[in-house]
Structure 1
Amino acid sequence: MLLTGCQGGGAAAGTPTSVAPTSASVSAPAASSSSPAPSSTTTTIAARVVVLDPGHNGGNARNPSVINKPVPAGRGQTKPCNTTGTATNAGYSEHAFTWDVTQRVGAKLSAKGIRVVYTRDDDNGVGPCVNERAAIGNRAGAAAVVSIHADGSDSAGAHGFHVAYSNPPLNAAQGQPSISLAQTLRDSLRSGGFAVSNYLGGNGLAPRNDLAGLNLSERPAALIECGNMRDATEAALMSTADGRQRYANAIAAGVLTYLS
Structure 2
Amino acid sequence: MPASEDVLRALAQVMAPLARLLLASGLDYTRLAAELKPLFIEQARLELLRSGQKDTDSAISLLSGVHRKDVREWRTNGLSGRIAQEMSISSQVFARWVQDPLYRDRRKRPKPLPRLGLAPSFDSLARSVTQDIHPFTALTDLLRLGLVTVKTVKGQEWIVPHREGFVPPPGSRDLLDLFGANLSDHAAAAVGNLLGQPPQLEQSVFAEGVTPESSRELGELARKLWAQARAEMITEATRRYAADQGRADATCRLRFGAYYWAEDVSQQTPQPDPTATGDDRDDA
- Taking CA–CA contacts closer than 8 Å with sequence separation of 6 or more, which of the two structures ends up with the larger relative contact order? 1
- The structure with the largest alpha-carbon Rg is 2
- Structure 1 and Structure 2 fold alike (TM over 0.5): no
Structure with the largest fraction of helix: 2
Q: TM tier, shorter chain? A: under 0.3
Relative to the length of structure 1, the TM-score reads: 0.26
